[in-house]
Amino acid sequence: MLHYVIFRDSRIAILLAVLLAVLSILFLGNGEAKDQQHWAYAPLKRPLVPTLKTASTPENPIDSFVLAKLEEAGLSPSPEAPPRVLLRRLYLDLTGLLPSPKELDSFEVAFQTNPEQARNAVIDQLLASPHFGERWGRHWLDLARYADSDGYLGDTERPWAWRYRDWVVDAVNRDQPYDQFTIEQLAGDLLPHPTPAQLIATGFNRNGLRNTEAGVDLELSRTQEVVDRVNASSTVWFALTVACAECHDHKHDAISQKEFYQLYAFFNNTEILDVDSPFPEEAAEHKAALRAWEKVVSPLEKSLLAYESHHLTDRRVAWEAKLRQVQTDEHWRNLTPTKVLSSAKDDVEIRSDDSIFVTGRGKVDPDTATYTVESMVPTATRLTGIRLEAIGAFGVGRDLGYGAGRGPEGEFVLSQFSATLEIEAEKPRSLVIREIQVDAESETPSNALLDPKTVDGWRVATRTQQSHYAVLTLADAVDVPAGARLVFTLAHKKGGKKTLRHFRLAMTSDKNPTISSDIPDAVREALALAPTARSAEQERLITRFHQVTDPEWQQLRRGFEEQLAKRPRAPETKAQSLVERSTDRRDSFVHERGDYTRKGERVYPAPLSVLHPFHPRKNSGEPDRLDLAHWIVDPANPLTPRVAVNQIWQHLFGHGLVDTSDDFGVVGTPPTHPELLDWLATEFHDNGWSRKALIRKIVQSATYRQSSAIPASYAVRGLSAPANDLLWRQNSFRVDAEEVRDIHLAASGLLSQKMGGPSIRPPLPEFVTEVGRSVKWPVSEGEDRYRRGLYIFLKRTIPYPSLNIFDAPGAETACSRREYSNSPMQALTLLNDPVFFECAQHLGEKLAEQYGEETEAAITELYQRCLGRSPDAAELDTLITAYDDLRKQADHRSALVVTSRIVMNLDEFISRD
C-alpha cells in the first residue's frame, strides 16, 4: 500500500527522493575521500596465512583462511564428499561432462590406496583435457556477450563470430596468462605486428549489439557500440557499475561522468574490420596447391614470353606494312560523354580516352541494366552513323585482363540501342537507324537491337577480351549544330549479368559508314606516324594491337590465361576484429545527460582516478587501448586480480567470495573472506596469471572437497542449517543450461567430441523461428546435431529455447553470474524436448541390447551413467516395479526407454553436488 501511495502522490515521491539522497550521503559518502578507503580499491597485499587454534595446520592455505572463520563462528567443516561424488563434481566443474562408470570404478579403487595421489592425477587429467577449455571458455563468453548475430530487428548473422569463440577455448586450454589474455582482447590490433590470433582476440570488442536496420541513425548506433565497449570492459575487469556514470556522476562510487567519457575516448576512434584469418591447415593446403599450380603455369608463361620476344617482333614490320595497305579513308570521331547513368546504380567511370567503364556498386554486378549516355557535340557536323565499340583487354603478364561484358566469361548481350538528338529550343528527335553492321564474332542478328520487344540483340560470347564493333547507319543524314546533345540508351534485358563493362561511342559523317578493318582510332593515329615520331604510349598501343590480331599469340595467351584462371583461391576464412582509426580522428566529449548530440567538455583518454596511477607508453601520442590494457593488468592494480579470482571461485562454489561478482563498488556485497580473496589474488598474479594453477590450488583444498549434504543431526534436532557464507560445506546447484543438454548426450552415448568450427543448429520446431519474420534455421546433420551446447548458434532474437529455459543469459550485456531458477517449465522441457527424449531412447535401447532381460543390471548401469552411483535398495525396488508395470503395456526395449526417462528426469541428474 505504501508503494501505491508514493506513486499516486508526487509530493510524497519528491520528499522520499530527497530523504534517500540525504541518507545516501550520510551512510555511503559522496566523495572520493570516502571511496578511496573502500576495500576493493585498497592496494593489494599478500596477507599472512592465519594460525588456527587446533593443533594441526592444513597444507592448503585456502583451508586455513576458511577454518579460521569457522572457528570464530563456532562451526565445524563438513566431511569430505565420497569418492564418486567428488569425481563427478570435478568432472562437471572442470569439463562440464560426466565421468564414465569405468572411470568412477577406477578412481574409487585408486582412492582407497592413496587418496591424494588419486585426486591429483584426476585433477591434472581434467585440466589437460581439451574439454576444460570448452567449459571455462563458456564462462568467459558470458562476460564477452558473445553471440552469432547482431541483435535488434534485423539480427543479421555474423558468419565469423565463432572464430572468437574458438580463440577463447584455445587460449583457456593453453593456459594463456590472464594479463596477455586481457591485452590481446582489448588491444590485440595495437600490438607490434599482430598475429591473426591476436586480431581474432580483439573480436571481444565486436561482440556487442549492432543495429543494421534500414534508416538507423548511424552516429547514434556507433555511439551505443562505443558505450557498450566501455560498459563491458568495466564489468569484466573492474566489476564496477561504470555504466551508471553515462548520464551523470555515479551516485555511490567515485566515478564521475567525465571519467566515463575519458574511458569512452579509448574506444572512440575504432573501426570494425573483418580480417583474413585462415586456419594453419588451410594456409598449408593453399601453399601446396600454389606450388602445384606454379609447375603448370610457369612453362606456359615462358613459352608466351619467348614468342613475344622473338617471333612476334620479327613479324611486326611485315604486319605494319600490310596494315597500311588496308586502311580506308573512313573517319570516326569519339564522342566525349558528359553524363552517364545506370538504372542499376552502377559505379560509372568516364575515362580520358572517352570510354566508359562500369562496375557494380559494392563490386556486385546487376542482373540487367539500362545505360543512358549524354554527349555534347562541340562543332557543327553532319551525322551519318554511330559506332559502338565494346572494349575488351587482354592481360599483361599474369594479369587476366577483362572481357568487354560482365558475363561469367566476359560476354555481353545488348538488347536495345536508341539515339536522340536534342537541339536547344527544339523538340528532341529520335534518330532513325536504317542498318546495323556488327563484326564477325556476333552470334545473333544485330537488327534485333531495333526491336523494343526483344531481350536478345547484339551478343558477343567469344574473344571477349578483344574490341568488338557495331556500326549503326542512319536512314537520313542529320545536320547537327554545335552545342547540340546526343542521348543514347543502351538496354540490357537478357539477364545473367551480361551487361557491357567497357565501351565507347563515336560518330562519322562518311556517306557509307562501315566497320572496315576494326582498327581503333588511337592505333590508326599511331600507325600514321613514322616509328621515330611515336610516343612510348603509341608504341605500346601498336604492340598490344599487333598481339591481339596475331592468331598464334592469341592461342598461346588463351592457354596461359586458362591456367591463370585456375589459380588456387586463397582461403576465404575471416575473423571479426576491430582496429584503430589512423586518419580523421574523432574528438571526444562529455555527452550531456547521455545525449550524444549535446556535446559538453572535451575529454581525452584516461582511466579511473580512484585506482592506481596511469603511465601510458612514451612517444605514443594520445593514450590508446593498449595503454589502457597495460594499466588494467598493472601489478599495482588491486581490482583486476580480485575480480578475476572471484569469478573463478564463483564457478567452483556456486557463489563468489564477493556475492555481487558484477559490483565491487560501495553498494556491492563485501567479501565474506577478504584475506582469502587477497591471498588468492596475489597467488594468481605471482604464479604468472595462470588460471589452471589457481583452479588446481582451489580444487585440491579440503574446503572444495567437502560434502554438500546437510548433516542429519540438524533435522533430528529440528534445527535449520546455518547459511553457508562461511563455507562449512560445499554447495549443491544445478548445472548450467548448456551442461543440462551435454550430460544428457554424454550419458546416452550420443555426445560428439568434435571441437571448434561454425556454430551448429540442433532441431527446432518451425514455430520457434517465426518471430515477426521467417528466419532460416537449417538443422545440422550427422554428429553436428549432437555437439556440445557451447557450439549452438546463438541468435539474439531467437535464443535456443532449452538454453533460455535453464537460465542461459542473453548476450546484450556482459554477464558475470548466471541466475538459477526452478520452474515447472524446466521439468516440462526435460520431459518433452526432442533432444532429451532422443537421449533417453538411445540409452534405453543400448541398455536393452547390452543386458538383455537382466533388468537389475541395466538399471544399475543406468544409475552409474547418469548419477555416478548405484541405486540403493529402495530406489532399485521402485524402478523394477515401474519397469514391470511398463512391461504389461510395452516390450522390454520400450520399457527400458521409459525407465531411462525417469532417471534422466531426476533433479539429482542435472545437479552438481
Cα distance between residue 852 and residue 892, in whole Å:
8
State the pLDDT at residue 544.
81
State the pLDDT at residue 55.
64
State the pLDDT at residue 531.
84
CA distances from 288 to 460, 569, 693 (A): 37, 12, 40
Decide if 358 contacts 391 (C-beta within 8 A).
no
Q: Which grid cell sits at 131?
A: 574439454
Cα distance between residue 510 and residue 513, in whole Å:
6
State the pLDDT at residue 22.
44
Cα distance between residue 465 and residue 549, in whole Å:
12
- List residues bridging with 515 in a β-sheet: none
Q: Report the first-to-last Cα separation within the chain, whole angstroms.
A: 42
From the list 130, 41, 132, 147, the residue with the least C-alpha distance to 815 is 147
Cα distance between residue 635 and residue 621, in whole Å:
24
Q: Which amino acid is at 682?
A: T
Residues of the chain with pLDDT under 70: 1-36, 55, 323-330, 444-446, 516-518, 620, 715-720, 771-774
State the pLDDT at residue 518.
61
Please report which helix (H) or strand (E) contains residue 162, including its range: helix 162-173
SS3 assignment, position 615: coil
In this structure, the number of other CB atoms found within 10 A of the CB of residue 443 comes to 13
Q: Which grid cell sits at 11?
A: 509530493
Which 8-state DSSP code applies to residue 410?
A: S
Q: What is the pLDDT of residues 216-259, one digit of tens each?
A: 999 999 999 999 999 999 999 999 999 999 999 999 999 999 99
Decide if 529 contacts 383 (C-beta within 8 A).
no
- List residues bridging with 386 in a β-sheet: 472, 507
Neighbour-count burial of 148, counting CB atoms closer than 10 A to its CB (0-12 exposed, 13-18 middle, 19+ buried): buried
Residues 6+ apart with CB under 8 A from 419: 386, 430, 431, 433, 472, 486, 487, 488, 489
Q: Which amino acid is at 689?
A: W
Cα distance between residue 143 and residue 232, in whole Å:
8
State the pLDDT at residue 9.
45
State the pLDDT at residue 29.
42
Q: pTM of this prediction?
A: 0.81
SS3 assignment, position 519: coil
CA distances from 872 to 419, 857, 859, 877, 879 (A): 95, 13, 11, 9, 11
Cα distance between residue 763 and residue 786, in whole Å:
10
State the pLDDT at residue 8.
40
Which 8-state DSSP code applies to residue 96?
A: S
Greatest alpha-carbon pair distance for the chain in Å reads 122
